[in-house]
Structures are given as C-alpha cells and as structure tokens.
Structure 1
Amino acid sequence: MAKLTRRGFIAVTCAAGATRALPTLAPRMGAKRILTLVYDKSLGAMRAVERLVP
C-alpha cells in the first residue's frame, strides 16, 4: 500500500467524497461536466479534476 502524507490523505478523502456527491447533483443543476487530468505534486501522480459548467 502507498504511504500517504497527511496532505495526500486529505486530498484522496476529498476526491472520494466528491466522486459520491457530484453525480447526484449534476442532473438537477443542468450542468455540463468537464474532466481534466492534472499532476498533483503532493500525491506525486496524476489525478482527475471534475468541474461543473452551467
């Protein structure tokens, strides 16, 4: 298992929470989802960032 720093753990936890919450909110708002891959220095890896655009 990967060793996580406190900052990495918080980032992973927030990403997991957003993954569960956003799919239920997007259809109600009528927003379009934009997925972007970014390099996260704290994790040392790429991660997906999802934005909702009205």
Structure 2
Amino acid sequence: MGLTIYHWILIVAFVAIVIWVFGKKQKKRFEEDAKLPFDSEKTDNKDKNVD
C-alpha cells in the first residue's frame, strides 16, 4: 500500500508546523506568551488587596 496524495499533504503540513513552532523567529513570542498566566495572577492579586 502506497501513500496517497492526502497522506503526503498531511506529512508536509505536519513538518511545516513543527518547523514553524521550533523556529528561532517564534522563540521570543512563545516565551512572552508563556509568561502571560503569571502576569495576570499578579494583576488579579493586586486588585483583590485593594480596600
């Protein structure tokens, strides 16, 4: 059984996504996005402590 054109399209799309995710251009953006949950917790706690 050979791979159909559909399978090749999926393989190419998967490889393209992996390259995009682990590329150097995206590293800074993903590092900043990873810090967002912690930033919102600090903001939420400041709002709760205000009388």
Q: In which range does the TM-score fall when normalised by the shorter chain?
A: 0.3 to 0.5
Q: Calculate the TM-score normalised by the size of structure 1.
A: 0.42
Flag the structure with larger Rg.
2
Q: Which structure shows the bigger proportion of residues in strand conformation?
A: 1
Q: Bigger relative contact order, structure 1 or 2, given CA contacts below 8 A and separation 6+?
A: 1
